[in-house]
Amino acid sequence: MFYPLANTTWDDAEHSALQDVIASDRFTMGAKVREFEEKFADKFGKKYAIMTSSGSTANLLAISSAFHHPDLGLRPGDEVLVPAVSWSTTYFPITQSSLMLRFVDIDPETLNIDLNKIEQAITPRTKAVFAVNLLGNPVEADKLRALCKSHNLLLMEDNCESMGAKYDGEQAGAFGFCGTFSTFFSHHICTMEGGVVITDDRKMYDTMLSMRAHGWVRDLPSDTHLPLDPDPFVRQFRFVLPGYNLRPIEMEGALGIPQLAKLDGFVSERRKNGKQFQDMFNDLDFLDIQQERGESSWFGFAMILKGKMKGKRSLLVDAFKAAEIECRPIVTGNFLNNPVIEKLPHSVGSTITAAQDVDVDGLFVGNHHHPIPEQLARLRQVVQDVADKQ
């Protein structure tokens, strides 16, 4: 593949980290995971970070722990505002925690939740916003926080595609009460599989520690808000929350340490590629590209066809395949069009037009942590060749 969606970010440092774990003979979650968590929290300016087995389980841990947080007051049937375009496991943990999805359209420029449509979507049952920073592009944190504050809404972030993005100097994923990250292969850093949740809230952290590991209280500090049995023997198998097993393995934590140290360099190169992509594609009359807010970490490069290319995405997909350019839909497209929606309690809080355009006419190609001028040049030529034939 001349221009793949993603490629490896590993070198000898990661291979050495794996060998160290093998030599230790400790493969289940241990000291390396804790070290990675501490470094991650420090990197993103939060008190606490908790690693999970994936970005999807990071979302599950964050939402379910918020639901069981003693001070947040979430109840079954409460609504969570979500953008109509995201990954499937942005949505599933919400209904799996007995909450209700309420969909809001995306901004056609940023591809993030449309801040101008949030207020009209709020009902007396609306208690939270689960914002998504899509394809590296951060939400406008100041405006979104002001909206949440004025309506007493809990702000949480799915930042799985946007590690390293910033808005007004602040790290994406750190804008609200908690934020989630993914460390899957195609993302900004890679630990094989993996995810992280960050927060400043101690009760949220303790709740997540319990929810991540079966709902037990083993290893929780003595001053936790959760009930601890006075007998240390009994405490080992005392369960206080309806938890899961969302734990990472020690290799993933070990990999995260050198990967996190490289993150700034990775993002810097991605931003250089993003600037080149913008220069090449920003003024075409037959497609739109995602408009950056703040400092995108450019997960990938989105295109939404219009004008003479509208309705002709399949032609471009075929041309990309012939040119060895890997491409994908813009995540789920309009999630309301996915058949699984019939199984999810939900409502729609706004007109859904931009998300529908993305569903029909959107696609994206990858970005990398190193220069890709030849790949972008071929991408531009293929796009122009297809457009010239219309």
Nearest CA-CA partner of 8 in 259, 354, 246, 198:
259
Give the integer Cα–Cα distance in Å for 345 and 101: 6
And the tokens for 125? 């049952």
- DSSP element (H, E) containing 227: none
Give the integer Cα–Cα distance in Å for 224 and 231: 16
Tell me the C-alpha to C-alpha distance, in Å, between residue 363 and each of 237, 324, 349.
48, 15, 25
For the chain, first and last CA: distance in Å? Answer: 27
Residues 6+ apart with CB under 8 A from 86: 132, 134, 158, 331, 332, 335
Total count of residues recorded for the chain: 390
Question: In this structure, what is the dihedral angle of CA atoms 180, 152, 336, 181, given to the nearest 10 degrees?
Answer: 0
CA atoms within 13 A on the CB side of 148: 21
And the tokens for 183? 């460390």
- Is 187 one of the annotated active-site residues of the chain? yes
Question: Largest Cα–Cα distance of the chain, in whole Å?
Answer: 76
Give the integer Cα–Cα distance in Å for 38 and 41: 5
Question: Phi and psi at residue 380, in whole multiples of 5°?
Answer: -65, -40
In DSSP terms, 307 is beta-bridged to none
From the list 187, 188, 368, 369, the catalytic residue is 187
Asked if 138 and 162 touch (Cβ cutoff 8 Å), the reply is yes
In DSSP terms, 82 is beta-bridged to 103
Nearest CA-CA partner of 320 in 338, 301, 337:
301
Nearest CA-CA partner of 300 in 337, 320, 327:
327
Residues 6+ apart with CB under 8 A from 144: 113, 115, 118, 129, 131, 155, 175
Q: Point out the residues that are catalytic.
A: 187
